[in-house]
Amino acid sequence: MATEPNISDVPDILAPGLRVLFVGINPGRRSAAAHAHFANPRNDFWRLVHESGLTPELLGPARQHDALGFGIGITNAALRTTPGSGDLRGADFSGAADRLTVLARTLRPRVIAFVGKEAYRGTFGARPALGLQGNRLEATPLFVLPSTSPANAAVPYAERLRWFRELAAMVEREPTS
């Protein structure tokens, strides 16, 4: 039997005027246990954010709230914790597009970046290519990154870093709200 989503397991990291709002697919068990985004030590998210130039120092799950000081927010497309993203159902994404639209309207981030194609697909029901998307939420451009999950090991680190660097360059070009 499925349990109800517990959004307090991994709280959103949000503030107005973000440079980038990252949208993960959903919290994994390690993230839920740590109450932190991208907490699996084999997940490359924090290292990619730093090495792309989005943060001047390596943060990590224990310092996730410090990301706000660098204009970075984090949420998830699906709120239910699962062992893996393959355990998600369509219903887990119910309301995700509406919730992200509200965040785009109220927080006005420069860019919303989906960490993995499946986060985008679950939200909008469409298969994206990596990079800048043709649609927006409110006036906010949408960008799709490769997944940083250890399950995405088929995509080399250098390739993931290239996309994170492209995002970082785009964030710097986008006007502030």
The dihedral built from the CA positions of residue 43, 47, 49 and 55, taken in this order, carries a sign that is positive
CA-to-CA separations, 138 to 104, 106, 111, 116, 176, in angstroms, rounded = 6, 10, 11, 21, 14
35 classed as catalytic: no
26 classed as catalytic: yes
- State phi, psi for 89 to the nearest 5 degrees: -120, 160
Q: Which of 35, 37, 50, 76 is catalytic?
A: 37
Maximum distance among all Cα pairs of the chain, rounded to whole angstroms: 47
What is the DSSP code (8-state) at residue 36?
Answer: S
Structure tokens at 53: 């130039």
Q: Which of 6, 26, 40, 43 is catalytic?
A: 26
The residues annotated as belonging to the active site are 26, 37
